[in-house]
Structure 1
Amino acid sequence: MAMRVTPDIISPWFIDRLVCEQTWLDRRLPLIGDKGFISVDLHTGEYDPTAVRTSRTTVQSSYSTSLRVSCDGHRVRVEGNPSRFGRVENLYGFQTFEECIRVYNIVLAKLGLPPFTTGRFSFKTDNRSGAKDRKHLKTYSGCVIKHVDITRNHSVGYRNEYAFLRALSSFSLPNGKKPNLYPNGATVDYSTSRSIGGSSWDYSKLYIKAHELIEHMKKNLKNATDADVEYYKKLIEHCQAAGIVREEHSFKAKKLARYELCFFGHVTVEDLANHFTLTTLDTLTETLEVATMDYITIADQLLKRKIVNSRQAANATANYCHMWLNGQSLYNEDSGKYPRQYYVHKSRLIQLGLDISIPFDATRTALPMIKRQREITVRPHQMPDWYRKPSTRNFVVIHGQAA
């Protein structure tokens, strides 16, 4: 079935998972963690009581939510989802780092630890480098962001979520990241790594929000009130009616440090969104729109859109596409690589919404020679009036510190 996806205005971004650290060298802080580790000199048997490492401890709140906190006496680390902490769900969350850090600082205060702050930059010489090639490392005295997920909601319409994700899963991204449609059809992610969570650089995925809410309903509603249960069910029905698809991008430590997006007080969510080079949804929906023009053949589309200038070139690319549709290998086994013309035809067909670098799957690919039968419009989700907005004052820390 052919499908056209029309993007609307941009949805707002908000923060999901967040990991932060700050080091206090001028003071001795209380040790926080479930376990502690010390370093022992195996030759002398001596140990340094100040050189202690601690594991993370769990700080809990209502609705089975928690944060992980550790302190080795100098370095404080908090990880978790500030938009979810103390809430039954997080369809919408905090849109600024300042709001998220405010949540973390409330928890740190309960544990007798100093708050995360902004700081100053300084430079130090890396003595590990050779004398002629010493590097000057940039350091920051404030809170450093080690990981952050930014996310936004899109409305694709009632019962359109699965078709939308199937269509997205038929395209790879320009930087070589391949799509992976989960067996249940409710999530598609993009990564160059087969490991869970993608590479050590970044990770992107889109998934059906109502499916996720249903899947975690039992855990999220543990010890919930009747009003909470009714609210949660109403939210699921709302997500199903609007066809909510969640778009999520993870920025990991290496990428944040490489582009200097890790310094609290000097980075915003907009900086991350503008820097994000994949532009997953925007790029792919534009391609999907191209893929559904009501032309008769692939060759005609190539000529109509002026992708090629001659019927001979159009027919050559169309023939290459038919080889792909029939499952023929485009890889040259003798040379051990793709022939030069493969990349020429791939570039042309990508503009029609056909990615020949991914094995053809008739259940996912919207062929351009099939006339359009369905149109999906991607719109930003509008928050309902009854939605419980996130707040830094609506959660309770249970027992302060929990093992």
Structure 2
Amino acid sequence: MSALGHWFIDRLVVEQTHLGDRLPMIGDKGYVTVNLHTGEFDPDKIVASRATIQSSFSTSLRVSCDGHRVRVEGNPSRFGRVENLYGFTSFEECIQVYNIVLAKLGLPPFTTGRFYFTKDFHEDAANRKHKKRYTGAVIRHVDITRNHSVGYQNEWAFLRALATMSMPNGKRPNLYPNGATVDYSTSRSIGGSSWDYSKFYIKHFELIEHEKKNLKDASDEDKAYYRKLVEHCQAAGIVREEHSFKAKKLDRYELCFYGHVTVEDLATHHTLTTLENLTENLEVATMDYVTIADQLLRRKVCNSRQAANATANYCHMWLNGQPLYNEDTGKYPRQYYVHKQRLLQLGLDISMPFDASRTALPMIRHEREITVQPHQMPDWYRKPSTRNFVVIHGRAA
């Protein structure tokens, strides 16, 4: 487990197909396909939309069943709770919450299963391949998240610093206009690609933003607890790190089979770029930019004053907005990559355009150092439970 804190599960989408007798149809509406020539339709092939199953504090899950396939999506760590600063750390706990809801709807629980192989009949006979199948529940989407403490009023500067660093996989940062979120994606659409999505955001800002909705019909005791939690997040400077694993990625790396995957498997997956990867070369601290060459020598990034001065000169070109590539060829010279790797060790990513409003450089004038630490759960925190919610209502078609 990472030294920066424990991971827990946020959003989770699970489905399982049950063969045999038809199950109750669950959903707000049902859809059938009609043959326009004959007017015939198959009543056994009804597609059900998702029903909203609500609990307290404006929380809900979405459940559907078309007679064989059961699907639940939502946030099990948040269901029935006023907040989810901390959530469930295992799939088993999350599935237990989902199974309690399924039982109330008269549906079978999500279970582990066994593997078997089938041939893909969409391909020609010569090229048919055996495909791996699973009789148990399958995970179609999961968000894993954890909390970092960066200190009182340091969250905004910390996110601005992150917004100067591109991911090792080439994804570039996007600092939201409100300055409270940085996300990484190859797509401009919200939620990123169909593969994965990562973001960092200020937790107390998010709690305040959703306070009215979260505290609807809440008791005075719950309201006091919520305000205390917001103040705690502000004092600790909590930044939330969140990574979404989507269906294509889960299928590709066989991380989708319930009972055969853990949160640790996701957290240590080789395609996951975490805060450690981003901040490995990022030091959010004081530094005199006139002495960049001295910094390179002091940290033994360069072995000679000549090499350090050459890299410092490249950095000043970047700061002044000068092009670093060869204008005749439109390509970067070979030495660019040498200087880039050296400057990354000072927390400067010259592959990103310099933006004085977003980069970490201006905040150094305040002469403070930001240290990232795992957040410690306060002893008064209401820990998640698999039985601390009440289903308010759900509609069964």
**TM-score under structure 2 normalisation?**
0.93
| Aligned 8 A contact 1:291 1:367 in 2 | no
CA offset digits 1:37-69 (Å, max 9, x no partner): 112233433221111111111000011000001
From the superposition, tell whether residues 85 and 276 of structure 1 become closer, same or farther in structure 2 (CA, over 3 Å). farther
Q: Equivalences for 1:44-59 in 2 at 5 Å?
A: 44-59=38-53
Alignment-derived partner of residue 146 in structure 2: 152
SS in 2 for 1:374: coil
Aligned to 2:107: 113
| Structure 2 residue matching 1:78: 3-state secondary structure | strand
Distance 1:291 1:222 in 2: 42
Assess, with a 3 A threshold, how the Cα gap between structure 1 residues 226 and 16 changes in structure 2: closer, same or farther: same
Q: Matched residues in 1 for 2:220 and 2:230: separation?
A: 16
On the 8 A contact 1:293/1:372 being kept in 2, the answer is: no
Pick from 253, 263, 267 the counterpart of residue 259 of structure 1. Answer: 253
Q: Is the 8 A contact 1:209 1:239 kept in 2?
A: yes
Larger displacement relative to structure 2 (34-43 or 83-92): 34-43
Runs of 5+ in structure 2 lacking a partner?
Answer: none
SS of the equivalent of 1:47 reads coil
% identical aligned pairs: 80
Using the alignment, how far apart are the partners of 1:194 and 1:13 within structure 2? 27
Q: How does 1:20-99 map to 2 (within 5 A)?
A: 20-99=14-93
Question: How far apart in 2 are the matches of 1:290 and 1:134?
Answer: 54
Q: Does 1:301 align with 2:284?
A: no
2:214 paired with 1:214: no
Cα distance, 1:116 vs structure 2: 0.4
CA contact under 8 A between 1:299 and 1:311: conserved in structure 2?
yes
1:327–1:360 Cα contact (<8 Å) kept: yes
> What is the CA distance between 1:280 and its match in structure 2?
2.5
Deviates more, 1:240-249 or 1:126-135: 126-135
Query: Matched residue of 1:122: which SS?
Result: strand
1:248 is aligned to 242
Counterpart residue type for residue 79 of structure 1: E
Report the 3-state secondary structure (helix = DSSP H, G, I; strand = E; otherwise coil) of the residue aligned with 2:282: helix
CA pair 136-119 structure 1, distance change in 2 beyond 3 A = same
Cα distance, 1:33–1:337 mapped onto 2, change above 3 Å: farther
TM-score of the superposed pair, with normalisation by structure 1:
0.92
How far residue 279 of structure 1 moved from its aligned partner, in angstroms, is 3.5
Q: Which residue does 1:3 correspond to in 2?
A: none
* Cα distance change, pair 357–258 in 1 and its aligned pair in 2 (3 A): same
Deviates more, 1:339-348 or 1:179-188: 339-348
120, 123, 137: which one pairs with 2:117?
123
- State the shift of 1:356 in Å: 1.1
Quote the residue 2:283 is aligned against. Answer: 289
Structure 1, gaps ≥5 residues long: 1-7
Structure-2 separation of matches of 1:190 and 1:81: 22
Q: Does 1 or 2 have the higher relative contact order (CA < 8 Å, sep 6+)?
A: 1
Distance in 2 (CA, whole Å) between partners of 1:307 and 1:384 is: 41
Work out whether 1:316 is the aligned partner of 2:310: yes
Query: Quick check: 2:25–2:396 contact (8 Å CA) kept in 1?
Result: no
Q: Is the 8 A contact 1:291 1:354 kept in 2?
A: no
Rate the CA distance shift 1:363–1:278 in 2: closer, same or farther, 3 A.
Answer: farther
Matches within 5 A, 1:268-279: 268-275=262-269, 277-279=271-273
Corresponding residue for 2:354?
A: 360
The answer for the alignment partner of 1:174 in structure 2 is: 168
RMSD between aligned alpha carbons? 2.2
Structure 2 residue 10 is matched with structure 1 residue 16: yes
CA deviation string 1:262-283 (max 9, x = no partner): 1000111111101153433112
Residue 61 of structure 2 aligns to a residue whose secondary structure is: strand
Does the alignment pair 1:235 with 2:229?
yes
Q: Tell whether 2:94 aligns with 1:100.
A: yes
Please say which of residues 126-135 and 216-225 is displaced more in the overlay: 126-135
